[in-house]
């Protein structure tokens, strides 16, 4: 059985996280040539390429396996150090970093509270991979993330799932845009002639909302704005109508800065936490903390037993 140099594996993990040899060298406080040499030696020992050089550097399948292993080991090392400190005393341990994939709307609304609490209670740091909630699980399948927030109800092989609740979305527009396009009412025809905002081409929530309201969909003239802040700003400034989380949109609606296109009609998106079944104690405790915070902000009528 091969024995691997964990100093080299740690450098490989830094390259994967930072996206370049130069940035990895800076984060590890070593020279770029030292990073290159370590990666080269590791690849020669394994017999396969671990990092596809480019801008950014991208791990191969073998490189991702090593990366995920190093992150798990890092969590286990922190747990062991904390236990030893409790037994014999000593200095505070260096915080472990957990890479997780989180949908952008959660990241912009309720998830920051989780980050604060996890920092205080678990002593960890986060490396967040933002994506659409329907696609975050690809990071878990690839090994690029240790855990994800996702809409998929079927767990990835080897992972467990915790149902968090649902995030409700409402269709909104600025008063000026509403008057311009929907003065005669909101219908499939007026929607067809309007302008909307979508997060990206994977975003299907507008179609879900139209199907909910009218039982059908129509092609839309769309701005693609892959930023939560930019998306919300476009709605507020009349660049287009869109669907925003109700927990974020309701204050604007109450102040009259946004108008709800169809009051009472909301798209509910169920969210779940997925992480490996054999995950560390810290990751298990993080899952429980995620559930506690989600219950404060997501729709409670969507909770289901694990």
Q: For 17-62, what is each residue's pLDDT tens digit?
A: 888 999 999 988 999 999 999 999 999 988 999 998 888 888 888 8
The pLDDT of residue 140 is above 90: no
Q: What is the mean pLDDT of residues 253-258?
A: 97
Give the number of other CB atoms < 10 A from CB of residue 86.
9
Domains 6-63 and 168-268 share a fold: no
From the list 190, 192, 187, the residue with the least C-alpha distance to 220 is 192
Confidence category of residue 305, pLDDT binned at 50, 70, 90: very low
The pLDDT of residue 280 is above 90: no
Copy the structure tokens of residue 116. Answer: 């604060």
pTM for the whole thing?
0.71
What burial letters (b/e) apply to 260-285, b meaning 16+ CB within 10 Å? Answer: bbeeeebbbbbbbbbbbeebbebbeb
What average pLDDT does the structure give for the chain? Answer: 87
Mean pLDDT comparison of 65-74, 78-87, 128-137, 260-269, highest-scoring range: 260-269
Q: Does residue 256 sit in helix, strand or coil?
A: coil
CATH of 75-167+269-302, one of 2.40.10.10, 1.10.3720.10, 3.40.190.10, 3.40.50.620: 3.40.190.10
**Rounded Cα–Cα distance for residues 259 and 256 (Å):** 7
Confidence category of residue 198, pLDDT binned at 50, 70, 90: very high
The fold for domain 6-63 equals Arc Repressor Mutant, subunit A (1.10.10)
**Rounded Cα–Cα distance for residues 274 and 118 (Å):** 17
List the Cα angle 299/300/305 in 5-degree steps.
125
Q: What residue segments make up the domains of the chain, in order of their start? A: 6-63, 75-167+269-302, 168-268
Note the pLDDT of residue 63.
87
Confidence category of residue 304, pLDDT binned at 50, 70, 90: very low
Note the pLDDT of residue 123.
83
The pLDDT of residue 136 is above 70: no
The pLDDT of residue 155 is above 90: no
Mean pLDDT comparison of 62-66, 97-101, 187-191, highest-scoring range: 187-191
The pLDDT of residue 74 is above 80: no
Q: Which of 98-102, 143-147, 261-265, 284-288 has the lowest mean pLDDT?
A: 143-147
The fold for domain 168-268 equals D-Maltodextrin-Binding Protein; domain 2 (3.40.190)
From the list 7, 61, 277, 283, the residue with the least C-alpha distance to 158 is 277
The pLDDT of residue 130 is above 50: yes
Copy the structure tokens of residue 171. Answer: 């269709």
């Amino acid at each position: 059985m091969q024995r691997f140099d964990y100093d080299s594996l740690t450098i490989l993990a830094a390259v994967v996280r930072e996206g370049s040899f130069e940035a990895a060298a800076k984060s590890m406080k070593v020279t770029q040539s030292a990073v290159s040499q370590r990666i080269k030696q590791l690849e020669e020992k394994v017999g396969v390429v671990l990092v596809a050089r480019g801008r950014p550097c991208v791990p191969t399948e073998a490189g991702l396996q090593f990366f995920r292993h190093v992150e798990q080991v890092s969590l286990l090392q922190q747990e062991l150090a904390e236990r030893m400190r409790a037994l014999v005393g000593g200095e505070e341990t260096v915080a472990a970093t957990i890479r997780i994939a989180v949908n952008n709307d959660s990241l912009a609304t309720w998830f920051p509270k989780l980050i604060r609490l996890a920092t205080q209670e678990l002593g960890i740091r986060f490396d967040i991979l933002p994506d659409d909630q329907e696609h975050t699980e690809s990071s878990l399948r690839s090994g690029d993330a240790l855990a994800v927030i996702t809409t998929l109800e079927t767990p990835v092989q080897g992972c467990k799932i915790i149902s968090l609740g649902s995030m409700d979305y409402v269709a909104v527009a600025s008063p000026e845009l509403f008057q311009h396009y929907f003065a005669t009412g909101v219908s499939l025809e007026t929607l067809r002639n309007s302008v909307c905002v979508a997060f990206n081409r994977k975003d299907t929530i507008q179609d879900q909302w139209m199907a909910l309201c009218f039982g059908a969909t129509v092609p839309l003239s769309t701005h693609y704005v892959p930023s939560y802040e930019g998306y919300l700003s476009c709605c507020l400034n009349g660049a287009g109508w869109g669907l925003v989380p109700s927990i974020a949109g309701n204050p604007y609606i109450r102040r009259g800065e946004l108008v709800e296109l169809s009051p009472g009609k909301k798209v509910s998106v169920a969210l779940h936490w997925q992480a490996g079944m054999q995950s560390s104690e810290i990751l298990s405790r993080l899952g429980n903390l995620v559930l506690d915070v989600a219950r404060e902000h997501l729709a409670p009528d969507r909770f289901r037993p694990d």
